[in-house]
């Protein structure tokens, strides 16, 4: 049994005879002080966790958000910053993340294509300001 793989330059495909499996994006770091915000993240509860982290475990945390969750990541970062008053400061950087999708044909399951998408991402570095 052989699986044929090819990379399609075009993003278009027939949705009737194909299905898309989105691979999870690669995380730049797996450390516990890196928080990845998704569309499903609860900002309030995550803000509490971040507050505890900054109070007890870490002097700095990193917040990452990509695509539709960029706005949420910024809201979250500002919420944490607001909770700490002026004692926590932030640095913001942006980047483009390459995501890969597998396009599987429903007619021939052995035939798989991949599609690459560029997604914008935001990275916020929250750190305790030197007093």
Contact residues: another protein, CB under 8 A: 28-29, 31-33, 53, 56-58, 60, 62, 67-68, 70-71, 74-75, 77-78, 90-96, 118, 120-123, 125
CB of 128 to another protein, least distance (A): 13
Least separation in angstroms between residue 72's CB and another protein is 9
Q: Alpha-carbon distance 113 to 128, whole Å?
A: 46
Nearer to another protein, 118 or 131 (CB): 118
Q: Are 94 and 123 in contact (CB under 8 A)?
A: yes
Burial status of residue 88 (CB atoms within 10 A of its CB: 0-12, 13-18, 19 or more): buried
Give 5 or 92: the residue with its C-beta nearer to another protein: 92
Tokens of 110: 């052995």
């Amino acid at each position: 049994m052989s699986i044929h793989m090819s990379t399609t330059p075009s993003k278009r495909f027939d949705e009737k005879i194909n299905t898309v499996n989105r691979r999870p994006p690669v995380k730049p770091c797996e450390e516990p002080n890196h928080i990845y915000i998704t569309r499903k993240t609860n900002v309030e509860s995550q803000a509490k966790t971040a507050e505890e982290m900054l109070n007890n475990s870490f002097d700095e945390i990193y917040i990452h958000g990509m695509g539709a969750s960029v706005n949420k990541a910024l809201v979250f970062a500002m919420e944490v910053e607001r909770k700490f008053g002026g004692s926590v400061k932030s640095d913001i950087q942006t980047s483009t993340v390459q995501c890969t999708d597998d396009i599987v044909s429903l007619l021939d399951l052995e035939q798989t294509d991949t599609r690459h998408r560029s997604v914008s991402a935001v990275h916020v570095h929250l750190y305790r300001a030197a007093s």
